[in-house]
Amino acid sequence: MHRFSPGLQKATLEALERLGVEVVLGEKVVSHDDADARQVVLTSGKTVECDCYVDCTGQRPSSGVLASLAPAAISESGHIRVKPTLQILDDSLPHIYACGDVADTHTPNPNARSAMTQAETVADNILLAIRGKGPRYTYAPRWGDGLIKLTLGLDRSILQFWDGKNELLFPSVDKDVALLADGAWKNMGAEPFTDTGPMKEGLCYGLDGSTTIDSSFQD
Ligand SMILES: Cc1cc2nc3c(=O)[nH]c(=O)nc-3n(C[C@H](O)[C@H](O)[C@H](O)COP(=O)(O)OP(=O)(O)OC[C@H]3O[C@@H](n4cnc5c(N)ncnc54)[C@H](O)[C@@H]3O)c2cc1C
């Protein structure tokens, strides 16, 4: 979480520890090749037993589609270099745009909010092009674009504003285990889905690995 604020890093660490997660910092996994071994080896030589290993590190932007077409528009990190209009940085290809995580927009904390704003900018410029006009809409990162809400377990979250220098953190208690998914449906102009189908019984998974049948689900 190196690109997030110190306060958010601290809150995340505390939340994970509260949930009983063992957090190992300052180490890298150096070996996880043997799936049957069910363990990973860290730089210090320490081994960690695991049932399932999920590698979330080292992702690169998927910009390969432009590799042969406009190689100069791809940065060393693999991001697509863009102009403020979000046209790719290649004057010979004025009708190709890039936005979102893959684009190098200098957004301090790329997220869905900034990606959507950029998508609107691109769409508006394409509409101008269809009318035979040049692009005039531009994107520049705004302070609020870096806002992020991080869930810290099923019932807590923290809201962060961070401009690279100053941070504001708003911890909150959340009751909606669906993580406000209905709001996302509404934002996209859709009716939130409600599952009204019959359900005879519910299988409850306990944090301790136990399972119980919950008859309160009966219709
Ligand atoms: C664990 C995690 C948690 C996050 N939490 C939040 C959050 O709470 N709030 C928030 O605002 N943001 C959050 N983000 C960031 C957010 O998900 C991204 O910023 C956002 O999805 C970027 O949108 P995008 O459309 O640019 O990219 P994506 O959502 O990654 O979409 C890109 C799509 O393009 C497809 N694709 C890739 N290459 C090609 C190709 N060559 N041809 C065709 N299709 C291709 C991919 O399969 C993918 O479907 C989170 C990200 C992660 C990983």
Are residues 73 and 41 both part of a single domain? Answer: no
Are residues 89 and 45 both part of a single domain? Answer: no
- One digit per residue, the tens of pLDDT, for the chain of length 219 reads 887 888 999 999 999 999 999 999 999 988 876 667 788 889 999 998 888 888 888 889 999 999 999 999 999 999 999 999 999 999 999 999 999 999 999 987 888 889 999 999 999 999 999 999 999 999 999 878 878 889 898 889 999 888 778 889 999 998 887 878 888 899 889 999 887 777 665 655 555 556 565 555 444
Are residues 88 and 115 both part of a single domain? Answer: yes
Are residues 124 and 158 both part of a single domain? Answer: no
Are residues 119 and 165 both part of a single domain? Answer: no
Domain hosting 123: range is 66-144
Are residues 158 and 102 both part of a single domain? Answer: no
Are residues 124 and 153 both part of a single domain? Answer: no
How far, in Å, from the CA of 218 to the mean position of ligand 1? 38
Quote the pLDDT of residue 110.
86
DSSP code string of the chain: -TTS-HHHHHHHHHHHHHTT-----S--EEE---GGG-EEEETTS-EEE-S------------GGGTTT-GGGB-TTSPEEB-TT-BBS-TT-TT-B--GGGEE---SS--HHHHHHHHHHHHHHHHHHHTT----------GGGG-EEEE-SSSEEEEEEE-SS-EEEEEEE---TTTTHHHHHHHTT-PPP---S--S-EEEEPTTS-EEEEGGG--
Q: For residue 94, tell me if it sits in a domain.
A: yes
- Split into its structural domains, the chain has a count of 2
Q: For residue 200, tell me if it sits in a domain.
A: no
Are residues 129 and 96 both part of a single domain? Answer: yes
Quote the pLDDT of residue 51.
86
Quote the pLDDT of residue 76.
95
Closest atom, ligand 1, to C-alpha of 151: 8
Are residues 78 and 108 both part of a single domain? Answer: yes
Quote the pLDDT of residue 169.
93
Quote the pLDDT of residue 218.
44
Are residues 88 and 138 both part of a single domain? Answer: yes
Domain of 70: which CATH number? 3.50.50.60
Are residues 96 and 54 both part of a single domain? Answer: no
User: Which among 12, 54, 80, 101 is the best mutation to test ligand 1's pocket, defined by most ligand atoms within 8 Å of the CB?
Assistant: 101
Q: For residue 1, tell me if it sits in a domain.
A: no
Q: Is 62 in the pocket of ligand 1 (CB under 6 A)?
A: yes
Q: For residue 210, tell me if it sits in a domain.
A: no
Are residues 81 and 124 both part of a single domain? Answer: yes
The residue whose C-alpha atom lies closest to atom 45 belonging to ligand 1 is: 62
Quote the pLDDT of residue 118.
97
Quote the pLDDT of residue 213.
58
Q: Is this prediction's pTM over 0.75? A: yes
